[in-house]
């Protein structure tokens, strides 16, 4: 494909930034299928967790804009309409992903506040300050309620993000394969990863297996980006 350098930079920055930020907080090593484990991870180093999740979501917007450049380069070809449909799904997914990151941040912030307030209530009770302990306990209950509501919302948004994103990636892969705009193996892999992502999103969007299509797609987008920027080994693939 004859892609612009801007498209290449968007893909490279988006992929490297998104992966680096996404793996830089406690949620990277947490069990995403376990609510308690996730609440603990989100409430650890809260400020950085909130910031890294939001910046990672923004980095994925860069990737989607880069894919718009891929779509534009396919103009007039047989796969262009599939790539155009893909952009709609990817745009929706990027939007819900931003909302997801905000809800994840709110979850961690409020759960951390609940833990602190609960500890304060215990200390006040020991000191004989029953009124203060009650106020702190009430605050802990309110914060915990907000945290659990935000967590439930983030789970729903996460499932929506996965399903829409992988539908878009599948359509993009089909379009690239039909138009032969990309190395046939990479194009087919994009479609396969997208289909795998759709199936896994329906079965369980929080399962560890969902990382496979994410990493796979990121690696392919990085290859395309670096090839576009002129990295010798990857030029022929992109």
Q: How many CB atoms lie within 10 A of CB 68?
A: 18
Alpha-carbon dihedral sign for residues 202, 205, 211, 216: positive
Q: What does the pLDDT read at residue 180?
A: 86
Provide φ and ψ at 88, rounded to 5°. Answer: -60, -50
Q: What does the pLDDT read at residue 235?
A: 55
Q: What does the pLDDT read at residue 155?
A: 96
Closest CA relative to residue 169, chosen from 54, 64, 23: 64
- Which tokens hold the place of 140? 């802990």
Question: Within 13 A of 187's CA, how many CA atoms are on the CB side?
Answer: 18
Give the pLDDT band (50/70/90) at residue 182.
confident
Q: What does the pLDDT read at residue 228?
A: 87
**Residue 76 confidence (pLDDT) above 90:** no
- Which tokens hold the place of 207? 């399962």
The structure's pTM equals 0.91
CA separation for the pair 153, 145 (Å, rounded): 12
Segment 97-127, tens digit of pLDDT = 999 999 999 999 999 999 999 999 999 998 8
């Amino acid at each position: 494909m004859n892609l612009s350098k801007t498209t290449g930079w968007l893909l490279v920055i988006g992929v490297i930034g998104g992966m680096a930020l996404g793996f830089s907080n406690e949620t990277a090593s947490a069990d995403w299928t376990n609510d308690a484990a996730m609440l603990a991870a989100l409430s650890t180093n809260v400020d950085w967790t909130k910031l890294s999740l939001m910046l990672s979501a923004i980095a994925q917007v860069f990737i989607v804009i880069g894919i718009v450049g891929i779509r534009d380069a396919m103009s007039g070809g047989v796969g262009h309409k599939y790539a155009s449909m893909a952009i709609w799904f990817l745009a929706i997914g990027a939007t819900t992903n931003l909302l997801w990151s905000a809800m994840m941040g709110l979850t961690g912030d409020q759960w951390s506040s609940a833990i602190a307030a609960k500890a304060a209530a215990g200390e006040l009770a020991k000191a004989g300050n029953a009124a203060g302990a009650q106020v702190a306990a009430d605050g802990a209950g309110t914060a915990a309620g907000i945290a659990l509501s935000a967590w439930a919302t983030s789970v729903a948004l996460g499932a929506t993000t996965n399903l829409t994103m992988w539908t878009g990636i599948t359509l993009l892969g089909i379009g690239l394969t039909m138009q032969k705009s990309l190395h046939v193996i990479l194009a087919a892999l994009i479609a396969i990863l997208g289909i795998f992502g759709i199936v896994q999103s329906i079965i369980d969007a929080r399962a560890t297996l969902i990382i496979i299509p994410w990493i796979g797609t990121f690696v392919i987008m990085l290859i395309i980006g670096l090839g576009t920027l002129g990295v010798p080994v990857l030029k022929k693939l992109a």
